[in-house]
Structures are given as structure tokens and as C-alpha cells.
Structure 1
Amino acid sequence: LKYPKIRFSLDGCEILLQRAGQRAKFPGSLNVTDGGPFGDNTWYGRIVDGKFQPSRSSTDQVVEFLERFSANPEDVAAEYGQNSGCCCFCNRQLTDDVSVELGYGPVCAKRYGLTRKVAAAAV
């Protein structure tokens, strides 16, 4: 997967984590935005070598979320799926209990190499 994306929505604050391309100023870093189209989005900052470099647009809510997500991504993804009913990767509606419990569906699980998690939870 060349350019993975992870999406979350927190009390009306959209957060998208997306890998920067090879031509970016910081290739391979993770850009943190509100998910809007390029040029019309709010850029919260970037993650380089595991450290968040906030922009002026960043908020305490974004920083706190990133700290929680960094500490336990599986739990944060599951919490998002349970609260929103949507996949944290593609944002589509989750249609079965296992997917809602995990926070992502079977297609995204396979795409991101998480199929064992889905299979283990289904048993």
C-alpha cells in the first residue's frame, strides 16, 4: 500500500493521517489534516520519525488525539468504529458486528495486512 490513509472524526473535528509522497518536502512523513482537498484543507502538521510537528492550525484536541492514537492505535480505531459505525481507513459504513468492534471492515483489514485480527475476533 503506497499511500495509506487513516480517518477519524472527533466532535466535528475531522482528522486525516496520510503518508507524504516522494516529491514532498518531507517524503514518507505523515501529514495530519482535516481531510479537505489540497489547498482547501486545514493542515495540522506532520509526523516525522514518530514526533508530531504541529502547524499554527493545530489544536489541543488534535494533539491529544494523536497522543492517544500513538499509545494504542487498535483501541482508538475500535472506539471510532463503535462510536461512528464507520471504517477508520475508508470511512464506509461498517456492516457487521466484528467490523464495528474492530473499527475497520474485512476489505481494509486485508488491504492493511490486518486479516488475522478480523479472523481472530470472528472466532
Structure 2
Amino acid sequence: MKPVVNQKGMNMDNLSNEDVVIDKLEEMMTWNTFARSLVNQHLAKGRLSPNQWAAAERMIAKMAANKVARDAKSVDVNVGKINDLLVHAKVKRPVFRAEGLKFSLAPITLKNGQPAANAGAVYVKAGDEYQGKISGGKFHAGRDCLDDTPQAVVRAAQDPRGVAVQYGRDTGICACCGRTLTDPVSIEMGIGPICAEKWGL
């Protein structure tokens, strides 16, 4: 049977449960303050209290369960059409609205000029709630992703123009600029002609 190896190349089969917990905490400490505090205490004192061990194990188990739930909602998706829309749209910060969702490009660089971790990805929100991101040909569901979001993402990716028109007709709002459609032609089309030209729809 092939040994289980962690991100650092350590054989997890040869580690005690405490070693495994500390190793997991070290993987999480860059973004989880509680994990960082436990690791720092373990380094300083060489031990954690029984309550701290129990809390660490519960947190790790919860993180693992959350990952399983997110993975179950993740789906393969060809984001090419939506990505092309966002990249080539002749607006400063393009946001595409469809299927009750908002699609936007992840920043390429941070404010300090450093490369952004998710450059090239497409963020997905429902209202102001983060649903996940599309990268590497897959929709990666976030923690609070709604059950119907993954398939809505797939539908939007397959036919951006079709879902944009449907969104405009259903809501009376342009899928590209977010403004209310008032012109009779725009209402009939389900999208403003100026936006259609700017976005290549």
C-alpha cells in the first residue's frame, strides 16, 4: 500500500496523531489565526492543553468536511466565452450578470504591484455573496455556495448571449451595465444595444 505523504513530503503513516495535528495546523497557519496561535504555543512550550488538542482536532475535521462539501459542488466548466466577454469588454471594471449571478475577473496584480494569487480566474457572486471562482476549467465552489449555483454557472458559460438576453427580459436590467432597460428596443432585445456592441454580444 502506498504511504500517505503530506505537502512537505513527510510520510504521514509514521507520524503520531499529535504530529499529524501539528502538521495540519502548520499548513493552515498562514491564513488561520487560531491555527497560528496553537502552533506558536506548541513551539514555545512544546505542548498544548487537552482542550486545545481537542479544539484543534475539531477545527481540522470541520475544515475537511467543508472541503468535501465544496468539492461536491464543484463542476467542470468551459469559461472561455465568459472570460472573452470580460477581457474584451470596453469598460473599466466589467461585471456580467446572468442566471442570478455576477461574473467578474480576478485582479492580475495587487495594490502593491505583486502578482495576485487568483490572476486569470473569474469570480462568481450571488448578490454580494461570494459563490466561488472559475479557474483551470473548473468552478470551485466557496464555503457559502448555493446549491443551484454550479449549474447556473454552467448554463451561463455555455451561452452568455442567451442568458444575458433572458436576464434582461426577466429582470428589466441590462446584464452588462446593470442599468434598467427603458428604451422599447432594449426591452425587446433584453440588452442595451450600446452594451451589446461594447461587450461583443
Q: Same fold (TM over 0.5)?
A: yes
Runs of 4+ more than 4 Å apart: none
Whole-angstrom CA distance in 1 between matches of 2:154 and 2:145:
13
Partner in structure 2 of residue 102 of structure 1 = 189
Q: Does 1:19 align with 2:105?
A: yes
Q: Which of 126, 134, 137 in structure 2 is aligned with 1:50?
A: 137
The structure with more strand, counted as a fraction of residues:
1
Whole-angstrom CA distance in 1 between matches of 2:153 and 2:173:
19
Whole-angstrom CA distance in 2 between matches of 1:60 and 1:101:
31
CA distances 1:13-42 after superposition (whole Å, capped 9, x unpaired): xx2110011123111210012343xxxxx2
Q: Which amino acid aligns with 1:4?
A: P
Note the C-alpha offset of 1:83: 0.9
User: Over alpha carbons, which structure has the higher Rg?
Assistant: 2
104 and 75 in structure 1: CA distance in 2 versus 1, 3 angstrom threshold: same
Partner in structure 1 of residue 125 of structure 2 = 33
Using the size of structure 2 for normalisation, the TM-score is: 0.47
Equivalences, count: 105
Q: Which of 112, 115, 118 in structure 1 is aligned with 2:199?
A: 112
Whole-angstrom CA distance in 1 between matches of 2:132 and 2:138:
10
Whole-angstrom CA distance in 1 between matches of 2:177 and 2:141:
25
Structure 2 unmatched ranges of 5 or more = 1-89, 110-115
RMSD after superposition? 2.0
Alpha carbons 1:81, 1:101 under 8 Å: kept: no
Whole-angstrom CA distance in 2 between matches of 1:78 and 1:69:
11
**Greater shift after overlay, 22-31 or 1-10?**
1-10
Q: Does 1:4 align with 2:94?
A: yes
Give secondary structure in 2 for the equivalent of 1:60. coil
Whole-angstrom CA distance in 2 between matches of 1:7 and 1:99:
16
Q: Which amino acid aligns with 2:141?
A: P
50 and 62 in structure 1: CA distance in 2 versus 1, 3 angstrom threshold: same
Alpha carbons 1:81, 1:100 under 8 Å: kept: yes
56 and 64 in structure 1: CA distance in 2 versus 1, 3 angstrom threshold: same
Structure 1 unmatched ranges of 5 or more = 37-41, 115-123
The structure with more helix, counted as a fraction of residues:
2
9 and 51 in structure 1: CA distance in 2 versus 1, 3 angstrom threshold: closer
Alpha carbons 1:5, 1:89 under 8 Å: kept: yes
Using the size of structure 1 for normalisation, the TM-score is: 0.72
- Percent of paired sites with the same residue: 36
